[in-house]
């Protein structure tokens, strides 16, 4: 009997796998999620929030490589006053004797990077106060500065990885040495139900290295769906492997449906079959739904220019952010956008910080501000949280003649929308920007804040056999919640 089942089921599964390969990356994650819920895998939640939410969706903007906090959202004039001196010659020499230095877990001993750096390096750009709140923002981010009254800037972040594994740590809360665990996007995807049955609920745009998965022990159902925004070829992996017409695809899906129904009659206790049937229908719908979202020609010229689509330096990031807004409108839960190519990330400014950061800031500043303005005028910002984050900051001291090294001890991120206060600068670093001092926050505090606004209690998101630590859950940053 066993051999008969293997002969009947395995060839069929092989056939379905081959048939669906053209849909891989778009439909599979959502399909597997439907199956796992239907089968009770991991005792997945019912998709309902634990308490009334203030937000429905998250747009997560992550600057890969490490943005200098002093030259973005936490200006430090004392760097100019003491430029060229060693940190030990400043009134803040104790920063290099702090117990906080012991938090860092070094992956590569005596690495050329990830050092403290002792010679104070002056600010490479000016800054000024913006908005009614008068919060200081670097001159590299004037458009975001113009939106500062909608932002909560957290100036007191810290992490424990002094190398680019901190990219993984910011998303998962765990150090690279701890192994891989689900990311914040995966937990949101796991905890909440779909708002649109025609679209994936967790999307990633932009480059990823070190770890390109999200679900890990939750399973591939909760990985992000990779998406490349290209209006000329918006969704290459949503196309069938062969050149098939819509009518021919319908015939194929009909055949799959019939095979599933035959299996259902033979194996009535297979609880995943109905989920499979629905999943292939969803895959077919996605081929139309996803490319339709990336129809930028449906937007006015004014909106396209708001995101910088008319300028070469802002066009790529602007298209991703405009797509994010359109996906939010359609009910996608979590949209993760990575900026800065290369394994380390383009923001990794060990040298030429001024030219590098100014160029990268021009790429993201206008599109990001455009996203905030567009969401706000459409009434979407009230239930969409925008996060602007990075893996760590840069050292107050210089690396070489014109760069800054990795700096995990204190850095900045900001959030807006979805019940987050506007015009707030929360937490502080010392006058050199070395350590997070007042109201320090480990990276999972950002996760906990998002989950709270989405109506989820982090401690209820657990899977049997995978005990989570207290640091995995974090604590909501209540001071920035309206």
Helix (H) or strand (E) holding 188: helix 184-191
| Confidence tier at 200 by pLDDT (50, 70, 90) | confident
Give the separation between CA 48 and CA 190, rounded to whole angstroms.
Answer: 11
DSSP state at residue 24: T
Q: What is the mean pLDDT of the chain?
A: 87
Buried b (16+ CB within 10 A) or exposed e, 382-396: ebbbbbbbbbbbbbb
Nearest CA among 251, 297, 239, 332 for reference residue 24: 239
pTM of the predicted model as reported, rounded to 2 decimal places? 0.87
Token reading at 26: 């778009």
pLDDT digits (tens, 9 = 90+) for 240-252: 555 666 677 667 6
Give the per-residue pLDDT at 281.
Answer: 62
Which residues, 6+ apart, have CB-to-CB distance to 401 below 8 Å?
351
**Overall average pLDDT of the 145-161 stretch:** 98
Give the per-residue pLDDT at 437.
Answer: 97
Least confident of 175-179, 277-281, 331-335, 444-448: 277-281
pLDDT digits (tens, 9 = 90+) for 57-74: 999 999 999 999 999 999
Buried b (16+ CB within 10 A) or exposed e, 27-64: bbbbbbbbbbbbeebbebbeeebbeebbbbbbbbbbbb
**Overall average pLDDT of the 159-164 stretch:** 96
**Tokens 């003649």 identify what position?**
401
Asked if pLDDT for residue 302 goes beyond 70, the answer is yes
Q: Are strands 135-138 and 225-226 parallel, antiparallel or unpaired?
A: unpaired
Three-state SS string across 224-289, please?
CEECCCCCCCCCHHHCCCCCCCHHHHHHHHHHHHHHHHHHHHHCCCCCCHHHHHHHHHHHHHHHHH
What phi-psi label fits residue 224: left (phi over 0), alpha (psi between -120 and 50 degrees) or beta? beta
Give the separation between CA 8 and CA 14, rounded to whole angstroms.
Answer: 11
pLDDT digits (tens, 9 = 90+) for 218-268: 988 889 988 888 766 655 555 555 566 667 766 766 776 677 777 667 766
Give the separation between CA 333 and CA 426, rounded to whole angstroms.
Answer: 26
pLDDT digits (tens, 9 = 90+) for 7-37: 444 444 444 444 434 444 445 455 555 555 4
Rounded to 5 degrees, φ, ψ at 145 are -55, -35
* 425 and 145 Cβ atoms separated by less than 8 Å: no
């Amino acid at each position: 009997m066993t051999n008969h089942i293997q002969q009947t089921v395995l060839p069929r599964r092989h056939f379905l796998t081959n048939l669906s390969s053209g849909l891989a990356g778009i439909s599979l994650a959502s399909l597997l999620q439907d199956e796992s819920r239907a089968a009770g895998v991991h005792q997945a939640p019912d998709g309902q929030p634990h308490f009334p939410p203030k937000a429905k969706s998250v747009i997560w903007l992550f600057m890969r490589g490490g943005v200098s906090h002093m030259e973005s959202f936490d200006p430090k004039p004392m760097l100019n006053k003491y430029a060229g001196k060693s940190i030990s010659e400043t009134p803040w020499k104790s920063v290099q004797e702090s117990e906080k230095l012991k938090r860092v877990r070094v992956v590569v001993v005596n690495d050329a990077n990830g050092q403290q750096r002792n010679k104070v390096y002056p600010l490479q750009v000016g800054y000024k106060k913006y908005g009614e709140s008068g919060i200081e923002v670097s001159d590299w981010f004037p458009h975001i500065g113009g939106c500062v009254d909608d932002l909560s800037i957290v100036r007191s972040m810290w992490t424990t990885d002094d190398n680019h594994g901190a990219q993984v740590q910011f998303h998962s809360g765990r150090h690279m040495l701890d192994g891989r665990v689900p990311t914040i996007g995966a937990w949101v995807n796991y905890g909440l139900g779909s708002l649109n049955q025609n679209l994936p609920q967790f999307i990633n745009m932009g480059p990823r290295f070190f770890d390109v998965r999200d679900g890990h022990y939750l399973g591939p159902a909760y990985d992000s769906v990779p998406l490349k925004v290209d209006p000329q070829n918006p969704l290459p992996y949503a196309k069938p492997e062969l050149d098939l017409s819509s009518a021919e695809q319908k015939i194929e899906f009909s055949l799959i449906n019939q095979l599933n129904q035959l299996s259902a009659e033979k194996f009535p206790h297979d609880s995943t079959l109905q989920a499979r049937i629905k999943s292939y229908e969803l895959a077919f719908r996605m081929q139309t739904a996803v490319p339709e979202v990336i129809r930028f020609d449906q937007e006015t010229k004014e909106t396209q220019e708001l995101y910088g689509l008319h300028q070469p330096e802002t066009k790529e990031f602007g298209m991703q952010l405009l797509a994010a807004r359109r996906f939010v409108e359609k009910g996608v839960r979590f949209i993760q956008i990575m900026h800065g190519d290369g394994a380390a990330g383009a923001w990794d400014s060990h040298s030429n910080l001024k030219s590098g950061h100014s160029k990268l800031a021009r790429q993201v500043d206008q599109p990001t501000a455009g996203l905030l303005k567009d969401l706000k005028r459409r009434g979407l910002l009230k239930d969409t949280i925008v996060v602007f984050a990075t893996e760590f900051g840069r050292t107050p001291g210089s690396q070489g003649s014109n760069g800054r090294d990795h700096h995990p001890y204190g850095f900045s991120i900001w959030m807006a929308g979805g019940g987050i206060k506007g015009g707030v600068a929360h937490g502080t670093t010392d006058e050199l920007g070395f350590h997070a001092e007042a109201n320090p926050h480990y990276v999972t505090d950002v996760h906990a804040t998002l989950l709270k606004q989405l109506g989820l209690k982090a401690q209820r998101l657990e899977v049997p056999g995978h005990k989570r630590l207290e640091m995995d859950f974090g604590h909501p940053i209540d001071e920035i919640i309206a």
